[in-house]
Amino acid sequence: MKSVTVFCASSDRIPEIYKQHAHEVGKLLAEAGYGLVYGGGGLGTMGIVADEMLAAGAHVKGVIPRFMVEVEWQHKGVTDMELTETMSERKQRLIEAGDIVLVLAGGVGTLDEMFEAISDRKLELNEKSMVVLNTNGLYTPIKDLMSRLDEENFLRDNDNLYFVDTPQEALRKIDSILKG
């Protein structure tokens, strides 16, 4: 079974459109037969995607630092929970454990995860493609920046980074990459 690593938000205080897309992503990934690898949290879009996947009977693997478990931020329904000692170790395990990365809307933690995965790919430390769900145009400035960096030859290859606007487009892109 192929698994999708999802980077997303832990905040519940976000506009409804981001929550709606998280529900759709969870349902679509589960219906397509994918497993989920994610940050192990129970709140925000992290919790939403995990809940949808679990409700559909899909495999869900959480990767969470021990200190987050100690303050009870982990999702209580996820039985496959890997503990790490640091956030850096968590990011590495998230990238390693999935077959592709999907980025949903999120804050600085999500951006940190996204850019580390992009950087690792450029350094040939991983071969993962990345799909970025550009809900509500949130990531358009980053899309434009990445295009500019590519045009100015700061990127060796930008062929593995895909921006899409809907959960359905995200699933189609994931399918085309993982199922050929």
Per-residue pLDDT tens digits for 148-159: 999 999 887 667
Q: What is the pLDDT of residue 180?
A: 82
Q: What is the pLDDT of residue 148?
A: 93
Portion of the chain with pLDDT greater than 70, in percent:
99
**Residues 178 and 100: beta-carbon distance below 8 Å:** yes
**Residues 163 and 132: beta-carbon distance below 8 Å:** yes
Cα–Cα distance, 134 to 179 (Å, whole number): 23
Greater confidence, 144 or 71?
A: 144
What sections of 42-85 are H helices per DSSP? 44-55, 66-70
Greater confidence, 13 or 122?
A: 13
Query: Average pLDDT of the chain?
Result: 95
